[in-house]
């Protein structure tokens, strides 16, 4: 179980996370949604230890991890898929999967993680994780490495960002399968309805605060409320 207690995070005099408290139970499928700039990605990074909160506490399975580094949290079982996958010169897909697993495994063993995200291992395993791969391919590789870690809590930061609709449609299937077979808690930051549909629970974050939490039907009305009309269009209509 992951528990956030009164987390605050301010940068450039802007409260990005404003006193957020939250519990994520084991084996839950949580989707965090809300408008851009509302603090979702920052919250995910705070959980992984990439950003450090100004105040508040983070407990993981009852242990205070607030001051722990990224690597220590990873060893406890927290995994994180980046919104923009990181590229490396010289490091192959196979190398990256082995690093994610924490050991050199047989080539054949590493292959299954690529197959799971819809990439042909023979075609991709020896390729470098660099700019020669498309956004969709990098995203799938990013997800494969995170799945390989089999963490207790797996965070995906906007898996749909930067990839085309067609690639995303097949990625959705990956998340659906993940939901069925994985024993971890899954936290996905997303705006995509199909991802929202398979969540056990939605959390709406806006202006650094949790505005609503619960089943989709309960949270959606708050989400719609948040959608402001464009002032310019409104004025045009009023003329």
Partner 1 sequence: MSKFNDVERFILKKVSDIDDVPHGAFNIRENGKGIMRNTTENINIVTKKDKPGIDIYVKANTKSETVHIPVILTQGGMTDVVYNDFYIGENADVLIVAGCGIHNNSCQTAQHDGIHSFHLEKGAKVKYVEKHYGEGEGTGKRVLNPVTIVNLGENSYLEMETVQIEGVDSAIRKTSGVLSKNASLIISEKIMTHKDQFAKTEFKVELNGENSSTKVTSRSVAKENSSQEFISRVIGNEKCFGHVECDAIIMDNASVKSIPEIYANNIDARLIHEAAIGKIAGEQVTKLMTFGLTEKEAEKEIINGFLK
Instruction: Point out which residues bind partner 1 (CB under 8 A).
Output: 48, 50, 69-71, 74-75, 79-80, 82, 86, 88-92, 95, 99-100, 102, 145, 149
Q: How many CA atoms lie within 13 A of 116 on its CB side?
A: 21
Q: How far apart (Å, rounded) are the C-alpha atoms in residues 136 and 144? A: 12
Between the alpha carbon of residue 143 and those of residues 28, 81, 160, the distances in Å are 18, 6, 11
To the nearest whole angstrom, how small is the minimum distance from the Cβ of residue 90 to partner 1? 4
Do residues 36 and 190 lie in contact, with contact meaning Cβ atoms separated by under 8 Å? no
To the nearest whole angstrom, how small is the minimum distance from the Cβ of residue 217 to partner 1? 34
- The strand pairing partners of 209, in sequence order, are 206
To the nearest whole angstrom, how small is the minimum distance from the Cβ of residue 128 to partner 1? 8
To the nearest whole angstrom, how small is the minimum distance from the Cβ of residue 83 to partner 1? 11
Q: How far apart (Å, rounded) are the C-alpha atoms in residues 115 and 123? A: 11
To the nearest whole angstrom, how small is the minimum distance from the Cβ of residue 19 to partner 1? 26
Q: Which is nearer to partner 1, 102 or 221 (CB)?
A: 102
Q: Are strands 201-206 and 55-60 parallel, antiparallel or unpaired?
A: unpaired
Do residues 2 and 183 lie in contact, with contact meaning Cβ atoms separated by under 8 Å? no
Q: Which is nearer to partner 1, 78 or 219 (CB)?
A: 78
Q: Which is nearer to partner 1, 40 or 45 (CB)?
A: 45
Q: How many CB atoms lie within 10 A of CB 57?
A: 15
Q: Which is nearer to partner 1, 40 or 73 (CB)?
A: 73
To the nearest whole angstrom, how small is the minimum distance from the Cβ of residue 100 to partner 1? 5
Q: How far apart (Å, rounded) are the C-alpha atoms in residues 135 and 16? A: 28
Q: Which is nearer to partner 1, 84 or 197 (CB)?
A: 84
Q: Which is nearer to partner 1, 83 or 206 (CB)?
A: 83
Q: Which of 169, 65, 29, 151 is nearest to 101 (CA)?
A: 151
Do residues 185 and 154 lie in contact, with contact meaning Cβ atoms separated by under 8 Å? yes
């Amino acid at each position: 179980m992951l528990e956030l207690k009164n987390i605050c995070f301010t940068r450039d005099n802007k409260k990005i996370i404003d006193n957020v408290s939250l519990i994520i139970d084991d084996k839950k499928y949580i989707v965090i949604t809300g408008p851009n700039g509302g603090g979702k990605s920052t919250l995910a990074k705070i959980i992984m230890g990439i950003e450090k909160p100004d105040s508040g506490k983070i407990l993981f399975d009852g242990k205070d991890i607030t001051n722990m580094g990224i690597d220590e949290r990873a060893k406890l079982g927290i995994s994180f898929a980046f919104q923009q996958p990181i590229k490396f010169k010289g490091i192959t897909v196979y190398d990256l999967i082995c690093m994610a697993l924490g050991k050199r495994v047989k080539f054949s063993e590493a292959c299954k993680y690529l197959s799971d995200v819809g990439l042909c291992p023979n075609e991709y395993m020896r390729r470098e994780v660099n700019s020669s791969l498309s956004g969709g391919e990098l995203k799938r590789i990013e997800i494969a490495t995170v799945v390989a870690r089999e963490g207790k809590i797996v965070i995906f930061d906007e898996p749909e960002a930067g990839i085309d609709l067609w690639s995303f449609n097949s990625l959705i299937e990956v998340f659906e399968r993940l939901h069925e077979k994985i024993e971890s808690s899954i936290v996905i930051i997303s705006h995509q309805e199909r991802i929202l549909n398979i969540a056990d629970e939605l959390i709406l974050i806006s202006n650094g605060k949790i505005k609503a939490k619960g089943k989709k039907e309960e949270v959606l009305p708050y989400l719609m409320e948040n959608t402001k009309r464009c002032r310019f269009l409104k004025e045009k209509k009023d003329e």
